[in-house]
Amino acid sequence: MKNSKPISQSKQQKVIDELVGQRVSINPGFFDAELITALYQELVGLEKQEQLRAAHIGKQQQRAQIRDIRGDAIHWINAETDAQRRFLAEMTQLQNALNQQLFLGLTELEAHYAHYPPGMGYQKHLDSFQNNNLRRITIVVYLNPDWQKDDGGELEIYDDDEVIAKVLPLGGTLVCFVSEEIPHKVAITRRERFSIAGWFRVRDTAAAPTS
């Protein structure tokens, strides 16, 4: 794969302006096809080789209940391949732009691949909780090369109880939103659904040494 190229200024600016204006930004065609194809093939391979593990939510819940709330299996992204490194490099550019213009003080991105088999989804939730508020900006990146309305699996974005946007999980699309303010849900998918979910975070100062 070719070296990382800079994301265009105008694509980054659209994300920033929409986050400021409406706390959500939806960007079809944000990533180039070569990168999305490489990420997709890697994730399909991991799934075939049974390298993904069931996602969990809280510590107390039982497995069966969790599958009901959240049906994806995941693999954390940690720069172990060219495709992952290029993806992380592009997201670092976005992180820097967010910090420069919005003074968010973001220090890192935690991100994982996700696979939802047919029949699975993720019930309405927030990505950041009162006792775990280090996640500031959520990103979701879709990897399937094609997707139809009938395939289900849309990301539904809420304002309280009202759905204000539905996003088809079509490869190349980037969705960003303010983690602690935007409830969202993954509708039950009828096809294998491949994506990346990530969170720009701030450093956990409570865990830092005090002197």
Candidates 109, 54, 46, 51; CA nearest to 78 is 109
Specify the amino acid at residue 181. E
Q: Which span sits near Mn ion by CB under 5 A: 46-54, 127-135, 157-165, 202-210?
A: 127-135
Nearer to ligand OGA, 155 or 178 (CB): 155
Binding residues vs ligand OGA (CB under 6 A)? 114, 122, 127, 140, 155, 184, 186, 195, 197
**Pairing between strand 184-186 and 155-159?**
antiparallel
Is residue 151 involved in binding Mn ion (CB under 5 A)? no
Nearer to ligand OGA, 90 or 113 (CB): 113
How near is the Cβ of 142 to ligand OGA at its closest, in Å?
7
Query: 193 and 153 in contact (C-beta within 8 Å)?
Result: yes
Cα 151 from Cα 142, distance rounded (Å): 14
Q: 83 touches which of Mn ion, ligand OGA, none (CB within 5 to 8 A by kind)?
A: none
The two structure tokens encoding residue 10: 């105008």
Cα 60 from Cα 74, distance rounded (Å): 19
How near is the Cβ of 178 to ligand OGA at its closest, in Å?
13
Is residue 127 involved in binding Mn ion (CB under 5 A)? yes
- DSSP letter for 80, please: -
Specify the amino acid at residue 148. Q
How near is the Cβ of 211 to ligand OGA at its closest, in Å?
36
Query: Site for Mn ion (CB under 5 A): how many residues?
Result: 1
Using CB under 5 A as the criterion, which residues of the chain lie in contact with Mn ion when the complex forms? 127
